[in-house]
Structure 1
Amino acid sequence: SNLSALWILIANGWMQNPVGSEFNPDTMRMEVTNFMEVLFNPVAQAKFVHTVSAGYVTASVFVLGISAWYVLKNRHLGLAKRSMAVAASFGLLSALSVVVLGDESGYALTDNQKMKLASLEAMWETEPAPAGLTLIGIPNQKEHRTDYAIHVPYVLGLIATRSLDGEVEGILPLVAVAEDRIENGIRAYTAVEALNDNPNDVEAREIFEQTKQDLGYAMLLKRYVDDPATADRATIEKAAMDTVPNVAMSFFSFRIMAGVGFLFIAMFAVAFYFVSLKRKVPRWFLYLAFFSIPLPWIAAELGWILAETGRQPWVIDGVLPTFMGVSSLSATQVIMTMVGFTLLYGTLAVIEITLMIRAVKLGPGARILPKGMSGGGPDTHNEPVPARPRTIQFDK
């Protein structure tokens, strides 16, 4: 499963930071030029270890919550308390690693996805270094401001640049940069058109080589005009504003995800304290651990929402816009596919959750089999195996 996650995240990391490849005007395709750069893409590697650590946190919260439920029900107390101790210690280490690796991901954004970083912080203008962190606020994308913002000085600059003098660029200055890249991309687009007519056009080839890194930005104009070369200044400015993702969604997704992560650190630390230094865990904490079971999945989904929303308007960052007509599928076909996948995986999830709840109710040692199916043991009909009494002897 880790190997599967690695390849998925290498692919997703390439979409976020398309290294080791370039556009070939002769074949009109993005082609891999260095597979090792794709494999060791810093964005992909940071995503992989961050995601795997999040999976460990999810498992730890689940074990801690089910163990807490057994303690509340006064069942399997020996196993439950030992499981709580393991979940607390392993979960604490995993949750701390998620925070550290999240910091590494934020550092990678400073160079690779500046607009995404500015958007998740709702930072409209570039602040003097080191920039402050917006703890909470209400982003107003229409007016380009964040209402009721509470700032923590210096924190964002230290996290994003790991320095006292590194700048974190704001949304509006990055839009101005996008305007320049669109204009440069128009030259690349015109050169590609010339090369399509005459592959031996030396001047067009030279212009393309100088401007090819901005070709994707010219494609942003396709939303408004058929030929990017015909776009006027107002259209270029409108296309540049399209490089700003949904700021509110990025802003709140990140803060809820991060808040849940710090809650896990506190919860694991408290659990470790109680199971290590005290015999009795308070009932309020047992209830908290049990009802926290869904939170890791919520945090993980918010993390993916942040990753995919923050990349907009790009399918491949800086290369291919989301709205480009690159698929032969109709909107109806896409919707039907999504509905089909949702129904399939939703059904599987219901079955899995039903089996998990059943297993938890039966307890350790029970075999989950339909009635009437022979399993060759005392637990054939879903009866839990009675625990063997254990005698503990002490030396005099």
Structure 2
Amino acid sequence: MELDIVALSRFQFALTALYHFLFVPLTLGLSVLLAIMETVYVMTGRQVWRQMTKFWGVLFGINFAIGVATGIVMEFQFGMNWSYYSYYVGDIFGAPLAIEGLMAFFLEATFVGLFFFGWDKLSKVGHLLVTWCVALGTNFSALWILVANGFMQNPVGSALNPQTMRMEITSFFDVVFNPVAQAKFVHTVSAGYVCASIFVLGVSAWYMLKGRHLEIAKRSMTVAASFGLAAALSVVVLGDESGYLTTENQKMKLAAIEAMWKTEPAPAAFTAFGFPDQQARETHFAVHIPWVMGLIGTRSLTTEIPGIDKLEQQAEMRIRDGIKAFDALMQIRAAPTPEAVPAELTTSFEELGHELGYALLLKRYVDDPRQATDAQIAQAARDTIPHVPTLFWSFRVMVGLGMFFIVLTGTFFWLSARRHLDKYPLLLKIAVIAIPLPWIAIEAGWIVAEIGRQPWVIEGVLPTAMAVSSLGASTVLTTLVGFAVLYTALIVVEMTLMIRAIQKGPEPDDEPEAELISETLVPAAE
């Protein structure tokens, strides 16, 4: 069986990204929770809040260290496994990655060190500022990574230079403030806040069930429930915005998520349940909720959402326009000097150049897209349809778990307000069992975002099949297995260290509380 270099490269990147993304959400959320807890400590002077901050800080540190170790490899993969991608869009994609490394990551890493070793060397307010800088740096890292990813989903602020055959930035402002990138950033960060909140809630519930560290557990649950409820509600709102932008920029992804094979009259129904059959192009046992998809996807009752069949037909037309753009590009490049290019060729490329990526889909079947047959064009158009069942079910797992998190955090928020956190052991057990669920929801969301973009590595611009390096399949397979073994070992290390730290629990703090000092000094003075 011949190994497919494109499939292997995709699988390797997916493997490393999925592993790395196990650590990122908890880092994002815990950093903010630490800042909130230490803020309460500085405002009240209560030692228990200092203990809480230190304890959850240990878990943050373990997760942060393993996350850095798994994340370093990912950026090297762009040069090793995706060299043509790096060449084609390196001027654009490399900028936010460089900023993330130079500004956000260094800021984060520097203040992480001060957080752990500065407790007795900095003032209370100084250490609090350090903790907020850790949270700021962590979220800045996510911002620049998602700016880069947002460009892959919605390439803006750039243009192809026909002479160098590279994409160049035309507006860095547009790249940074890409609406897709901004929506993905706030949605992803909010999901990280939910992840950390459920983690803190579950660990604290375990302490409650064991009758250990009750003071810290109750306060941690109160903070996690309040912060988690706000974050879970925001995930829904921000997810709606992300879905609306998908309707504008990635229509095929939206149609695949809904398994919408045929274009429906507006407003389209939402398929709550069903079994998509990609070969038969129908969804078996589908349960529809009228109007909902039209309202979510278009925010109107009259705007049509195109189905997969219609989008495939449009893709075929765009491929044919792309062939014309490719022909104009080849003639422009054949000219001896840029000044010798006929004006009509330049005009033709300017008019159809945005469809060039669709012509490049044919590179999988023919070296020169201009020589493609009708059958090859039709096949390339079919390639624009991602794997519908995977998107359909991943999206519903993500949304279903998101609704559960709202109910869970809302319940514990209500219990904390009534001071009944220890009244219902069954709810505490549910909170413990729920600890891994945010990671399942987040990984499902990542699958929706990335598989939904296929067959593009950059939506409408560069097909995935063209972006890979000219490596031997055996080389990629070997490194893939190596990464799988290494990352699995790191997961085991992470879990072992986290479980040991949780079983050990918070350590007593030697710093006396302000209240205790005042109580002992006043009688002595009298």
Please, what TM-score do these two structures have when normalized by structure 1?
Answer: 0.90
1:333 corresponds in structure 2 to: 475
Compared CA separation, residues 276 and 325, structure 1 to 2 (3 A): closer
| Aligned CA-pair RMSD | 1.8
Task: Give the deviation of 1:363 after TM superposition.
Answer: 1.4
Letter in 2 for 1:222: K
Distance 1:121 1:152 in 2: 12
Query: Please, which of 360, 366, 371 is the counterpart of residue 225 of structure 1?
Result: 366
1:371 corresponds in structure 2 to: none
Query: Please, which of 218, 231, 234 is the counterpart of residue 81 of structure 1?
Result: 218
2:407 corresponds in structure 1 to: 266
Letter in 2 for 1:357: I
Matching of residue 39 in structure 1 with residue 176 in structure 2: yes
1:224-303 alignment runs, 5 A limit: 224-277=365-418, 279=420, 280-303=422-445
Distance 1:11 1:340 in 2: 27
Compared CA separation, residues 328 and 344, structure 1 to 2 (3 A): same
1:380 corresponds in structure 2 to: none
Question: What secondary structure is seen at the aligned counterpart in 1 of 2:466?
Answer: coil
Distance 1:359 1:29 in 2: 50
Question: What secondary structure is seen at the aligned counterpart in 1 of 2:465?
Answer: coil
- 1:329-363 CA deviation, whole Å, 9 max, x = no partner? 33233333333433343333322221111111111
- 1:157-182 CA deviation, whole Å, 9 max, x = no partner? 11111111111111110001101100
2:155 corresponds in structure 1 to: 18
Contact 2:198/2:224 (8 A) holds in 1: yes
1:71-220 alignment runs, 5 A limit: 71-198=208-335, 199=338, 200-202=340-342, 203-220=344-361
Letter in 2 for 1:190: D
- 1:276-332 CA deviation, whole Å, 9 max, x = no partner? 225243121111100110111111111111111000000111011111164233323
Contact 2:457/2:467 (8 A) holds in 1: no
Compared CA separation, residues 326 and 30, structure 1 to 2 (3 A): farther
Task: Give the deviation of 1:366 after TM superposition.
Answer: 6.3
Gaps of 5+ in 1: 368-376, 378-384
Matching of residue 304 in structure 1 with residue 430 in structure 2: no
Query: Please, which of 349, 352, 372 is the counterpart of residue 491 of structure 2?
Result: 349
Task: Give the deviation of 1:195 after TM superposition.
Answer: 1.3
Distance 2:486 2:178 in 1: 33
* Greater helix content: 2
Distance 1:330 1:308 in 2: 24
Contact 2:261/2:309 (8 A) holds in 1: yes
Letter in 2 for 1:207: S
Distance 1:356 1:12 in 2: 30
Letter in 2 for 1:224: Y
Distance 2:423 2:396 in 1: 30
- 1:55-92 CA deviation, whole Å, 9 max, x = no partner? 11011001110111011111122221222111111110
Contact 1:275/1:281 (8 A) holds in 2: no
Distance 1:349 1:278 in 2: 36
Distance 2:300 2:167 in 1: 36
Contact 2:267/2:293 (8 A) holds in 1: yes
Distance 1:281 1:341 in 2: 46
Compared CA separation, residues 325 and 17, structure 1 to 2 (3 A): closer
Distance 1:254 1:281 in 2: 35
1:321 corresponds in structure 2 to: 463
Letter in 2 for 1:129: A
Contact 1:313/1:322 (8 A) holds in 2: yes
Contact 1:67/1:84 (8 A) holds in 2: yes
Question: What secondary structure is seen at the aligned counterpart in 1 of 2:280?
Answer: coil
Letter in 2 for 1:285: L
Distance 2:176 2:481 in 1: 33
- 1:121-161 CA deviation, whole Å, 9 max, x = no partner? 10011111111110010001111111111011111111111
Task: Give the deviation of 1:269 after TM superposition.
Answer: 1.0
- 1:12-52 CA deviation, whole Å, 9 max, x = no partner? 11001010111111111111111110000011111111111
Letter in 2 for 1:236: I
Matching of residue 54 in structure 1 with residue 194 in structure 2: no
Alignment identity in percent? 59
- The structure showing larger relative contact order (alpha-carbon pairs under 8 Å, at least 6 residues apart) is 2
Question: What secondary structure is seen at the aligned counterpart in 1 of 2:471?
Answer: coil
Question: What secondary structure is seen at the aligned counterpart in 1 of 2:284?
Answer: strand
Task: Give the deviation of 1:225 after TM superposition.
Answer: 1.5
Contact 1:359/1:366 (8 A) holds in 2: no
Distance 2:227 2:423 in 1: 18
Distance 2:467 2:168 in 1: 19
Query: Please, which of 135, 139, 145 is the counterpart of residue 8 of structure 1?
Result: 145
Distance 1:247 1:139 in 2: 7
Task: Give the deviation of 1:260 after TM superposition.
Answer: 0.6
Distance 1:278 1:132 in 2: 43
Gaps of 5+ in 2: 1-137, 520-526
Which 4+ residue blocks in structure 1 deviate beyond 4 angstroms?
A: none
Contact 2:312/2:384 (8 A) holds in 1: yes
